[in-house]
Amino acid sequence: MVHEFKLPDVGEGVAEGELVSWQVEEGDTVTEDQAVAEVETDKAIVEIPSPVNGTVRELLAEEGEVVPVGNVLLTFNVEGEEEEPAEPTTESADSEEGTDSQEQVGEADASADAEETETPEGRVFAAPSARRLARELGVDIASVDGTGPSGRVSEHDVRTAAESATESEPEKGAEPESETESEPEPATETETAGGAAAATTAAPTQVEAAERKRTLAAPATRRLADEQGIDINAVPSTEERDGQAFVTPEAVREYAEAQQHAQAADTAAIASGETGPREERIPYRGIRRSIGKQMQKSKFTAPHVTHHDSIDVTELVETRAELKEIAEERGIKLTYMPFVLKAIVAALKEYPYLNSALDEENEEIVVKNYYNIGIAVATDDGLMVPVLKNVDEKDMLQLSSEMNELVEKARDRTITRDEMQGGTFTITNFGAIGGEYATPIINHPEVGILGLGELKKRPVVVGDDVEARYTLPISMSIDHRIIDGAVVASFANQLLEYLHNPRLLLLE
């Protein structure tokens, strides 16, 4: 029996996933819960397990394809059950009666075409290996007639199509009967008036131009080439003198015209959505698209105001240095972040509206009495925000241990959606790469985000003297619908006081 496996809902609010890689191939035997594919959601890569014991029948998506939740991802022949017998067809009956096999193929192709017509959005059913082969051979997969089940295109079909295309090409030097019977040379793809002819003339002789060691040309011709920005040695020669290539002014003008048409073709291709020679088009999806949508929603929903300040944290540096060795003895790397986390929670308790969210539908401000702090992490795949839950209930070493674990999981893409949800306030540390001040975007629907600048020595006035002291710049953005400027300034003063004198955190 054939079992259709649809892409399941892999997380709250996820409507689609990008197929990163197949973990199985057609014909493989799998067991229940065995990983069959890796799918990238808006935040994480998750493994999709097999729901049954059986054999992989068909892979219905290609790596890199975005698959909506609920679409059939692959099919299985369920273990212990016989494969579905093919429906009796006119072809099989004709075969038994000795009908020519070529007629069977023709009828099968017609049937496949009919099924493809009925497929939503004109999708072509093809094995991933067949799609790869089509790309390698330069075959348009949509033009291949599939002879497999339900009109599925196989590698054999692709090779047959490629051989047919090769056989139908005109012999070298022969005039094609029509534009559709042969592919144009690369230089003749421009269909602008005069461009095709000029490019066709230049293309085959450029090899000769590249191979010659010396070019003869009159001084006026060389000046013309310089004015046109053309390398005289690249211009095809039309004459020979004393056995060497001689370039005329007419040849320079023709070559310049061909180059201009080629550049115009590139510009037209870019304007029409195709990739030019100096550009690369990368799909906007996965984490990058998720970040973009979230940033856009936040910036267009919440009016942002950013407050900047800095504080002398020399005592914090000394305190952390003392505790760092103790933490290392327990196998924990102690950074400054746990101190910042504790200071934020202490300040949020005094200014609770900064730990809230706006319920726009019910027009209510929801003040939260729990403290789940998100920490923005830069990864190779984009910005991710693991959330440390119940920060107020944990000590410094617990926070260090949990934070280090979550950051590592975010960077290697093993973090779960649950570990990135439920935040009430966020920290972003752009100072880790040398930044000082910024205007961070709020992680909506939160109402505040704290940006940390680079902690380093700067000149500070102490009494009447200027000393080199460790200072920490901060940039804090707030949702001005909920928080006023005076409130964020007071919150920042309280936060910086805790960081200036970390012993005050002992009272919290």
pLDDT tens digits, residue range 97-153?
A: 444 444 444 444 444 443 333 343 445 666 666 777 777 788 887 888 877 655 667
Could you tell me if residue 155 is inside a domain? yes
Where do we find the tokens 């959606």? 417
pLDDT beyond 60 at 435:
yes
With pLDDT > 90 as the criterion, what percentage of the chain qualifies? 36
Residue 174 in domain: no
CATH number for the domain spanning 53: value is 2.40.50.100
Q: Amino acid letter at 78?
A: V
At residue 178, the pLDDT reads: 37
The reply to whether 393 and 315 lie within a common domain is yes
Structure tokens at 269: 């291709």
Q: What is the CA radius of gyration of the chain?
A: 33
Say if residue 182's pLDDT is above 70: no
The pLDDT tens digits of the residues spanning 243-258 come to: 667 778 888 888 888 8
The residue among 256, 271, 286 that closes a domain is: 271
The last residue of a domain, from among 166, 194, 229: 166
Residue 456 clears pLDDT 90, i.e. is over it: yes
What is the structure's pLDDT at 455?
A: 95
Q: How many CB atoms lie within 10 A of CB 38?
A: 18
Same domain, yes or no: 144 and 241: no
217-222 contacts, C-beta under 8 A, 24 or more apart: 217/246, 217/247, 217/248, 218/249, 220/249, 221/247, 221/248, 221/249, 221/252
The Cα-based distances of 112 to 107, 124, 139, 146, 216 in angstroms read: 9, 10, 18, 6, 62
- What pTM does this model have? 0.56
**272-293 pLDDT, tens digit each:** 666 556 788 887 777 777 788 8
Do 362 and 454 fall within a single domain? yes
pLDDT of residue 210: 46
Q: Are residues 61 and 98 in the same domain?
A: no
Does 125 reside within a domain?
yes
Segments forming the whole domain that contains residue 43: 2-78
Residue 363 and residue 342 in one domain: yes
Other Cβ atoms less than 10 A from the Cβ of 57: the count is 19
Return the higher-pLDDT residue of 243 and 223: 223
CA 378: distance to chain centroid? 14
Instruction: Output the pLDDT for position 151.
Output: 66
> Same domain, yes or no, for 216 and 346?
no
pLDDT > 70 fraction of the chain, expressed in percent and rounded? 74
Is 137 a domain residue? yes
The verdict on residue 151 lying in a domain is yes
Residue 390 CA to its chain's centroid (Å) = 32
Q: Are residues 158 and 223 in the same domain?
A: no
Find the mean pLDDT for residues 289-310.
91
The model's pLDDT over 188-200, given as tens digits with 9 standing for 90+, comes to 333 333 333 333 3
CATH number of the domain enclosing 403: 3.30.559.10
Catalytic choice (3, 304, 308, 480): 480
Q: Which two tokens stand for residue 312?
A: 């002398």
In a shared domain, residues 314 and 357 = yes
Pair (332, 459) in one structural domain = yes
290 domain residue, yes or no: no
Residue 180 lies in a domain: no
Top-confidence residue, 184 or 345: 345
Q: How many structural domains compose the chain?
A: 4
Which DSSP helix (H) or strand (E) runs through 51?
none
Is 171 a member of any domain?
no
Residues 94, 71 share a domain: no
pLDDT of residue 38: 85
Same domain, residue pair 96 and 191: no
Does one domain contain both 367 and 455?
yes
- CATH assignment at residue 139: 4.10.320.10
Whether 480 is catalytic is yes
3-state secondary structure 193-251: CCHHHHHHHHHHHHHHHHHCCCEEECHHHHHHHHHHCCCHHHCCCCEEECCEEEECHHH
pLDDT of residue 372: 97
